[in-house]
Amino acid sequence: MRISELAARTGVPLATVKYYLREELLMPGRATSATQAQYDDAHVRRLGLVRALAGQGLPLDKIKVVVALVEDPGEDLFVALGKAVMALPPYPGSLSGADDSADAEYPRTRALLERLGQLYDPRFTAVAQLERALAALDSAGLTMSDRRIDVYGEHIRGIADLDVDLLPTTSRQETVEAAVLGTALYEPVLAAMRRLAHQHRAARTFSTAADPGSSGCTQPDRHPQETQ
Amino acid sequence: MRISELAARTGVPLATVKYYLREELLMPGRATSATQAQYDDAHVRRLGLVRALAGQGLPLDKIKVVVALVEDPGEDLFVALGKAVMALPPYPGSLSGADDSADAEYPRTRALLERLGQLYDPRFTAVAQLERALAALDSAGLTMSDRRIDVYGEHIRGIADLDVDLLPTTSRQETVEAAVLGTALYEPVLAAMRRLAHQHRAARTFSTAADPGSSGCTQPDRHPQETQ
């Protein structure tokens, strides 16, 4: 297809497609004349990847890291996956806080992962990310109980195992691409699903209204009371 | 305690404490003279709440909404919980996209929640939030399979049920405060835990290195290979 058709099919403005070509985020098409080139499904997929990452707020240099890893994952797929996911936000710089120097050893994260018996690479950005999140809990006067660590750990592992099971294994490129997209794009899905599950549960636990309709909850087939 | 001690004990700068007093995010102390007041543990806790919400990037007017609901949850705790959590980001405005008008009915979210049999209030911001997240998946060429919906739904419900079970019921104020903090502060914890669970699982699935140490993974008691 021609570049105008590529833009139309992906919904990415033509000027943006040309910009991605110049920045080498999109690989060149097959030249058919001095001024024209042909594009194919690989370009459609690449545009989908770049747009999804840009939509997550990734800066251009980080998108380049991911694209380079998708193009050439190298020998060890595990290492490529780690590098690609480390290009995703939040970045260590944005995780800074007053007590960062004291937390360089990530004591809270280490204790949590040791309790769960999980392998981890201390250089992985998620380690610093978890430490910051646990420090924020501490300073709000909340501390994660062992029960919460165990239950969260069990369910999160159930989710993560499915994520890895569902990764395509047709090619290393596709695996890295799917891992990056899956990490970035399912995080907001899971956060919203948790809030909705709270509402579902709280509607049954806390509603004091005599009229079940007053909770504002909607469910097509069943009446709120019937699900209790 | 005096205001200087309140600042020292919470680690919030004195100027910030005075600012929160002026903005009525912090309730006044008990006046002991024309220029002095005494503060207590309720002030310490309130400062923790305000700081935690500010640290999550909440604007002042949204923090005021949460604080007002903590102070006066009203008759129906469920309604107060819903309002308080709706004050948390992401906000509908920041969820805007090209296809918002077409998605005003939240077709993806409705289908997902109907499949899971969950009650929901269509006015709840998490509904719009989930719809945007699912639309982003669609435009990246991913679509959530029924298996993924079921597995995510089951595990997220396990997490959310625990969250609700662990809410304090000593007073309505404490319940609302804990629900708001728990929603906001555990989201980054869960996102980081998922990334670490991916690494744990991927280290066992994808590492092609002969030397297990080359994956960079650390675990104090066991060798990576032994956990397989």
Spatial separation of the C-alpha atoms in residues A77 and B8, rounded to whole Å: 49
Measured in degrees and rounded to the nearest 5, phi and psi for residue A120 equal: -155, 155
Q: Is 0.90 topped by the overall pTM?
A: no
Does residue B12 contact residue B30 with C-beta atoms inside 8 Å?
A: no
Q: Encoding tokens for residue A199? A: 């509402």
| Residue B218: pLDDT band with limits 50, 70, 90 | low
Higher pLDDT, B82 or B9: B9
Measure Cα distances from B64 to A89, B58, B77, B78 in Å: 29, 10, 18, 19
What number of other Cβ atoms are within 10 A of residue B114's Cβ? Answer: 13
Q: What pLDDT, in 10s, does the model give residues A112-157?
A: 999 999 988 888 889 988 998 998 888 787 889 999 999 999 999 9
Q: Which of A198, A211, A215, A225 should we substitute to test contact with B (largest number of B Cβ atoms within 10 Å)? A: A198
- How far is it, in rounded angstroms, from Cα B134 to Cα B112? 10
Quote the ipTM score: 0.82
pLDDT at B92: 61
For residue A86, how many other CB atoms are within 10 A of its CB?
Answer: 19
Q: What is the pLDDT of residue A78?
A: 81
Q: At what angle do helices B3-10 and B14-22 cross, to 10 degrees?
A: 110
Q: What is the pLDDT of residues B88-103, one digit of tens each?
A: 877 765 444 444 444 5
Q: How far apart are CA B63 and CA B20, in angstroms?
A: 11
pLDDT higher than threshold 90 for residue B22: yes
Contacts of B163 in chain A (CB under 8 A): 194, 198
| DSSP 8-state class, residue A53 | H
B192 to A152: CB separation less than 8 angstroms, yes or no = no
- Report the percent of chain B where pLDDT is more than 70: 85
Does residue B13 surpass a pLDDT of 60? Answer: yes
Which single residue is written with the structure tokens 């590529």? Answer: A6
What pLDDT band is residue B117 in, cutting at 50, 70 and 90?
A: very high
Q: How confident is the model at residue B115 (pLDDT cuts 50, 70, 90)?
A: very high
Max intra-chain CA distance, chain B: 75
Give CA–CA dist A34/A100, Å, rounded: 55
With a cut of 70, say whether residue B165 has pLDDT above it.
Answer: yes
Q: What is the pLDDT of residue B197?
A: 95
Check CB contact under 8 Å for A119 and B148: no
Distances in Å between the Cα of A116 and the Cα atoms of A42, B23, B187 are 40, 43, 19
Banded model confidence at residue B7, pLDDT cuts 50, 70, 90: very high
- Whether residue B76 contacts residue A208, with contact meaning beta carbons closer than 8 Å, is answered with yes
Contact B121 A217 (CB under 8 A): yes
Q: What is the mean pLDDT of residues B192-200?
A: 93
Residue of B142, B201, B217 with shortest CB distance to A161: B201
- Residue ranges of A 15-44 with Cβ closer than 8 A to chain B: none
